[in-house]
Chains A and B, each alone.
Chain A
């Protein structure tokens, strides 16, 4: 059995990985999530074990059966201690890191000095820079198809849920929003919308976002940090023009780890480039000229199964 353990759903990643690892390895794979987010944005196949009064015995029994354990941003040392204490001798323990330095929940990567992991994985969207010798792995972004081909609407979607003024999570700042807002009358028929504008609330489920992306012509991903996010990949897979501030490191890491050319994003240096692009009035022309390439790239390199295979190929050498 392969065991994935996390404190939270990590934006649905852990459940998705478990499904694919099971499919590709033919080995029973279990995702153990300790607690859900307060807004329960992700349906979890295996429930949350933290609600059990004696969750330790449940985790312990599964650890004893595991042939590989992958921890995802786990901070609870009780959980990690159980893993190292109860695992079979030759079983590898891998840690997948999902957070930038000096930010929660990991802050200064304390866990890595306390425990000796057999490998540290980082998400290939630019996160490899944060920890020496980490192995970049792809985010397995779901394939999503509507029951009929969507007719795209003149929307520029800004789907950021969590953005702060920290160096590595300042994806879209209040100043960015202000600049878009003050120029909105110059964007012609294009309307810039946020989650709140579309749904009337701040927090929505992942499937609601996936649905909306299909209908948008443009998506604004992270403009400020240099990293890339799931939204950018989902945007490309939905045939959108994606504005991204991904830097040279991120693009190098991403394309190298998925064995592909640089993704066909609209590379920008900040919000001023997005405003310039939208004001120029050539948005529809851009899509006509580039959508075929975006779709071709997505089909060739970003298919869910392909990304899953790359992930699995990376971790399979740790299987005993």
Chain B
């Protein structure tokens, strides 16, 4: 008998095993809801020890598959079926209704609109799933919103996140996503707007080269983490605590006012910054004041030029506000903060 077993699926991915190739040399196809068909026989290329043990297969008999549907179809697939020799062996239509909520900790079962929320997103069975499991063992009352500066916390695996997010508009909420690297792609494909919220990418060992916004650098600075620190349950809890404790720093993104960082500060600069701060919306970035407009980074002169930053962006540069001004400026540009160059004589 041909068996098709799906362990995990979402609109971006399907993973499981089948004996269709090993036992029966059958052709296996995925058919999307749009009617596109892709032969996945060659994708059944993973050795599954559990399956081999149960059915007595040798090491060379491959039964597992882990397929990225987005790559396969070059688009998102809402529903799909697995066909073995013209027979529909499995269909996501049927499975969708059987799925249980698999999160072990969640302060609210569904994501509500508005408010501040910290999402911890992981792939099922991953290292972060295990770390979250350890936190769960300590009891989940500690994640109650009232005990966490009014910040709701959701621990979700990607499948569950997908189910919750489908009918939820996140745009009114202030969210921060702590996401394991493997989940990033699936989550963003699922909802592009997620990447408009801050995302902290987690690896099993802290990898600051993945910190494209600067938030992880700030958290690492606060906790004195070195590169490569292992993200254990204690470390995850500390990372979350930093974000929650300093919620005004991390969750408030209303445009603030321009703050002095470095350089010359005479009447001219003060006048310009005061005028900018008086406006309805002071520039939401870094302001560089110089006698002549500069075009490239190496033209920056730390004694002649003054640097200011909007207070709403401190969360992205907290670790380097005291660094050499050129390091600060370069980090701003790497972390996606816009830099506006104003000529000193500018009357605004």
Whether, in the assembled complex, B48 has its beta carbon less than 8 Å from a beta carbon of chain A, the answer is: no
Partner of A108 from the list B71, B196, B210, B329 (CB cut-off 8 Å) is B210
Chain A residues positioned under 8 Å from B340 (CB to CB): 269
Contact-residue bracket for chain B: 35 or more
Chain A residues positioned under 8 Å from B74 (CB to CB): 38
Known pairs A131-B209, A248-B299, A262-B295 / 12 extra A-B pairs, C-beta < 8 Å:
A103-B188, A104-B185, A107-B184, A107-B185, A130-B212, A166-B192, A167-B336, A248-B295, A248-B333, A248-B339, A252-B298, A255-B296
Chain B residues positioned under 8 Å from A18 (CB to CB): none
Whether, in the assembled complex, B301 has its beta carbon less than 8 Å from a beta carbon of chain A, the answer is: no
Selected A-B contacts with CB under 8 Å, 9 pairs: A101-B212, A102-B184, A102-B188, A107-B188, A108-B181, A167-B195, A248-B339, A251-B296, A262-B296
Whether, in the assembled complex, B84 has its beta carbon less than 8 Å from a beta carbon of chain A, the answer is: no
The answer to whether B196 touches A252 (Cβ under 8 A) is: no
Chain A residues positioned under 8 Å from B203 (CB to CB): 113
Whether, in the assembled complex, B348 has its beta carbon less than 8 Å from a beta carbon of chain A, the answer is: no
Whether, in the assembled complex, A110 has its beta carbon less than 8 Å from a beta carbon of chain B, the answer is: yes
Whether, in the assembled complex, B189 has its beta carbon less than 8 Å from a beta carbon of chain A, the answer is: yes
Residue in A226, A247, A249 whose Cβ sees the most chain B Cβ within 10 Å: A247
Question: Complex: how many Å from CA A169 to CA B179?
Answer: 22
Main secondary structure of the interface of A (DSSP, over half): loop
Q: A-B pairs with the 3 shortest C-beta distances?
A: A249-B333, A252-B296, A252-B297
Whether, in the assembled complex, B199 has its beta carbon less than 8 Å from a beta carbon of chain A, the answer is: yes
The answer to whether A249 touches B195 (Cβ under 8 A) is: no
The answer to whether B333 touches A104 (Cβ under 8 A) is: no
User: Which partner residue on chain A sits nearest B68 by CB separation?
Assistant: A75
Interface residues of B in 323-346 (CB under 8 A from A): 329-330, 333-334, 336, 338-341
Whether, in the assembled complex, A151 has its beta carbon less than 8 Å from a beta carbon of chain B, the answer is: no
Digitize A93-134: 1 where CB-to-B-CB distance is under 8 Å, 0 elsewhere.
000000001111001111001000000000000000111100
Chain A residues positioned under 8 Å from B339 (CB to CB): 247-248
How many residues on A have C-beta within 8 angstroms of the other chain's C-beta atoms? Answer: 32
Question: Complex: how many Å from CA A163 to CA B189?
Answer: 16
Partner of A129 from the list B184, B295, B300, B333 (CB cut-off 8 Å) is B333
Chain B residues positioned under 8 Å from A168 (CB to CB): 336
Residues of B that sit less than 8 Å from A by CB: 71, 74, 181-182, 184-185, 188-189, 192-193, 195-196, 199, 201, 203, 209-210, 212, 293-300, 329-330, 333-334, 336, 338-341
Question: Complex: how many Å from CA A168 to CA B333?
Answer: 12
The answer to whether B195 touches A166 (Cβ under 8 A) is: yes
Question: Complex: how many Å from CA A131 to CA B334?
Answer: 9
Question: Complex: how many Å from CA A247 to CA B336?
Answer: 11
Chain B residues positioned under 8 Å from A301 (CB to CB): none
The answer to whether A129 touches B188 (Cβ under 8 A) is: no
Interface residues of A in 261-277 (CB under 8 A from B): 262, 267, 269
Digitize A166-180: 1 where CB-to-B-CB distance is under 8 Å, 0 elsewhere.
111000000000000
Tell me how far the C-beta of B348 lies from the nearest C-beta in chain A, rounded to whole angstroms. 13
Chain B residues positioned under 8 Å from A129 (CB to CB): 333-334
Whether, in the assembled complex, A164 has its beta carbon less than 8 Å from a beta carbon of chain B, the answer is: yes
Question: Complex: how many Å from CA A101 to CA B201?
Answer: 11
The answer to whether A226 touches B295 (Cβ under 8 A) is: no
Digitize A128-155: 1 where CB-to-B-CB distance is under 8 Å, 0 elsewhere.
0111100000000000000000000000
Question: Complex: how many Å from CA A40 to CA B209?
Answer: 35
The answer to whether B333 touches A226 (Cβ under 8 A) is: yes
Chain B residues positioned under 8 Å from A104 (CB to CB): 185, 188-189
Whether, in the assembled complex, A76 has its beta carbon less than 8 Å from a beta carbon of chain B, the answer is: yes
Chain A residues positioned under 8 Å from B196 (CB to CB): 165-166
With A102-B212, A262-B296 as known contacts, state yes or no: A248 contacts B71, CB within 8 Å: no
The answer to whether A132 touches B209 (Cβ under 8 A) is: yes
User: Which partner residue on chain A sits nearest B45 by CB separation?
Assistant: A78
Tell me how far the C-beta of A141 lies from the nearest C-beta in chain B, rounded to whole angstroms. 20
User: Which partner residue on chain A sits nearest B334 by CB separation?
Assistant: A129
The answer to whether B182 touches A249 (Cβ under 8 A) is: no
Chain A residues positioned under 8 Å from B212 (CB to CB): 101-102, 130
Tell me how far the C-beta of A97 lies from the nearest C-beta in chain B, rounded to whole angstroms. 13
User: Which partner residue on chain A sits nearest B341 by CB separation?
Assistant: A248
Question: Complex: how many Å from CA A233 to CA B241?
Answer: 47
The answer to whether A108 touches B295 (Cβ under 8 A) is: no
The answer to whether A103 touches B195 (Cβ under 8 A) is: yes
Chain B residues positioned under 8 Å from A132 (CB to CB): 209
Partner of B300 from the list A108, A110, A248 (CB cut-off 8 Å) is A248
User: Which partner residue on chain A sits nearest B298 by CB separation?
Assistant: A252
Tell me how far the C-beta of A266 lies from the nearest C-beta in chain B, rounded to whole angstroms. 12
User: Which partner residue on chain A sits nearest B71 by CB separation?
Assistant: A75
Tell me how far the C-beta of B15 lies from the nearest C-beta in chain A, rounded to whole angstroms. 15
Question: Complex: how many Å from CA A269 to CA B343?
Answer: 13
Chain B residues positioned under 8 Å from A166 (CB to CB): 192, 195-196
Question: Complex: how many Å from CA A319 to CA B339?
Answer: 39
Tell me how far the C-beta of A24 lies from the nearest C-beta in chain B, rounded to whole angstroms. 28
The answer to whether B296 touches A248 (Cβ under 8 A) is: yes
Chain A residues positioned under 8 Å from B195 (CB to CB): 102-103, 166-167
Tell me how far the C-beta of B43 lies from the nearest C-beta in chain A, rounded to whole angstroms. 9
The answer to whether B298 touches A102 (Cβ under 8 A) is: no
Interface residues of A in 217-257 (CB under 8 A from B): 226, 247-249, 251-252, 255-256
User: Which partner residue on chain A sits nearest B333 by CB separation?
Assistant: A249
Chain A residues positioned under 8 Å from B330 (CB to CB): 249
Chain B residues positioned under 8 Å from A269 (CB to CB): 340
Chain B residues positioned under 8 Å from A255 (CB to CB): 296
Question: Complex: how many Å from CA A103 to CA B199?
Answer: 12
Residue in A103, A249, A262 whose Cβ sees the most chain B Cβ within 10 Å: A249
Question: Complex: how many Å from CA A101 to CA B198?
Answer: 13
